[in-house]
A and B are shown apart, each in its own frame.
Chain A
């Protein structure tokens, strides 16, 4: 199974800050990676697919990069509504595996 790790596990930031979250895969997955945002009591929402493609309707302050084993999610200018937990997901092979999550506190 492919193991996914994320760092940091949590962070505190201010409105307007640039935030970067890293996700690492235990083996190469090409660009088969998505990023999801989850707010309390809600279902996860996909932000990024294919490692760097922005989901339709998602603000352009979100961006993704990377391939192989290392990936990043960047929020260029943090907004109050970005308070959430962020997960990466590899969809290169089964079982699908998620990172443990990064909680962003504003």
Chain B
């Protein structure tokens, strides 16, 4: 069974930075595209970023473009999300999800942006 484990969440002040990680196992990580999705407390789901298997194609939601950077290390079976200039509205649970069609998800990591 596919396993995705997010880490790196926590409390950060507005304007601060954070790096999220997603450790993948039990599948060939280098063969799949990956995504980050977030969910604000009590609200719905928002896709925020995509990276192709070779990192050649990357997309961002307008809400994070210019502030967040997605990357991956296929040798380490890991996906990352570098988040800069964080705002209160970035407070959410962040999930990594496998493949173009978001077939499998991790358990999520909570990011709280507050002073």
Contact = CB atoms under 8 A, between A and B. Distances in A.
Interface of A: 32, 34, 42-46, 49, 87, 89, 91, 94-101
Nearest to B62: A95
Given A43-B105, A49-B103, A91-B102, A96 B44 contact: no
B23 to A, nearest CB: 15
Interface string B96-111: 0000111111111000
A34 B45 contact: no
Interface residues of B, number: 19
Interface string B4-17: 00000000000000
Summarize A's interface: helix, strand, loop or mixed.
loop
Given A94-B59, A95-B59, A95-B61, A46 B47 contact: no
Given A95-B59, A95-B61, A96-B35, A44 B105 contact: yes
Contacts of B29: none
Interface string B29-67: 000000100000000111100100000000101100000
B105 A96 contact: no
3 tightest A-B CB contacts, nearest first: A96-B47, A43-B105, A98-B45
B102 A94 contact: no
A99 B46 CA distance: 10
Contacts of A100: 44
29 contacts: A34-B101, A42-B107, A43-B105, A43-B108, A44-B95, A45-B105, A46-B102, A46-B103, A49-B103, A87-B44, A89-B102, A91-B102, A94-B59, A95-B47, A95-B59, A95-B61, A95-B62, A96-B35, A96-B47, A96-B50, A96-B102, A97-B47, A98-B44, A98-B45, A98-B46, A98-B47, A100-B44, A101-B44, A101-B45
